[in-house]
Amino acid sequence: MTEIAGSGTSGGGAGTNRFSARTLTWLLLGALVIRGLIRITSNVYSYIADRGAFGDQVRPLYAWLYESTSFAAWMLVLIPCWFAVRALRPPRLTWAWAALVHLLLIIPMSFGHIALMVAFRMLAWWVMDEHYAFDSPDGTPIAYELRKDVATYVEIVLTVFLIQWLVARYAAPVPAAAAPPPPRTLAVGDGSVTHHLPLAEIEHIAAAGNYVEIAWRGERLLHRATLTAIEAELAGAGFARIHRSRLVRRDAVRRVVTDKSGDFEVELASGDRLRGSRRFRGNVEG
């Protein structure tokens, strides 16, 4: 299985050609199913040949039905087996306890297999307008099937454990979700305290002499800077100039009302209304 890990473009086991955990799991389960189909094919022809050696002619259809219904039942029992192996193994349990628990699980798993197998056969025989009788050569069908199921269950448990180990060992790691970039902020001095205002919370900014007045959460904060400098600092953050002395955050604009003169008024999410100059109207209408 080291070939699956491959030597991707970054080389070695950490290469980029590795399958995802889901893909690798399905590939290995597919291989398990193919192996099972090959095995039941072999069993069918062996069964026909063995019975023929004793002069008992068996119709191939019935041989196929016997093997395929048992196989289909095991494929369904494989589902609880899969979760049992994942939950009952080291490091959750020691190897000794895991082996003991799985030995105890043989009985319910075998009963599940027998019940499904018989149900499938009864359905198949019913479709053929015949009656299926659950029996065995020794007259104890449940004990007969249970003896055979012990080896099959052990084989399935070991195979499932190997598949889960291979997936954990060789599947490509799930890429970690990229952390969202931290929100952009504007540093605003207030005496000895510097506030870092998230840009998404600033609604508008107006020139006020050597300062700018920042509308933030219903407050007005003065910050010593020019409007032009602030505009340059906020480049790419979604702010637009609507007047030579005013910036607004585009996302905060709820409505734009244009006068006949071409000047306009913007209504913001907070309910504030600000006048804008026609030369800047395209900044909020575009």
User: pTM here?
Assistant: 0.57
- Cα–Cα nearest to 244, from 207, 210, 215: 207
Give the mean pLDDT of 99-125: 94
Under 8 Å between Cβ of 167 and 28: yes
Judged on CB neighbours under 10 Å (0-12, 13-18, 19+), 229 is exposed
- Confidence band (pLDDT; 50, 70, 90) for 78? very high
pLDDT digits (tens, 9 = 90+) for 222-246: 888 888 888 888 888 888 898 899 9
Domain 185-285 has CATH 3.40.50.10240: no
**Whether the predicted pLDDT of 250 surpasses 80:** yes
Calculate what percentage of the chain has a pLDDT beyond 90.
36
Q: Where do the structural domains in the chain lie, given as residue ranges?
A: 2-170, 185-285
| Residue 285 neighbours by CB distance under 10 Å | 13
Report the distance separating Cα 147 and Cα 45, nearest Å.
22
- Cα–Cα nearest to 154, from 93, 83, 85: 85
pLDDT of residue 286: 64
**Whether the predicted pLDDT of 7 surpasses 80:** no
Helix axes 141-170, 95-127, angle to 10 degrees: 120
Calculate what percentage of the chain has a pLDDT beyond 70.
94
- Whether omega before 141 lies within 30 degrees of 0, making that bond cis, reads no
Give the mean pLDDT of 252-256: 89
* 178 vs 82 pLDDT, higher one: 82
Report the distance separating Cα 214 and Cα 204, nearest Å.
6
Give the mean pLDDT of 68-77: 94
Residue with tokens 């600092």: 233
As a dihedral over the C-alpha atoms of residue 212, residue 217, residue 219, residue 225, rounded to 10 degrees, the angle is -10
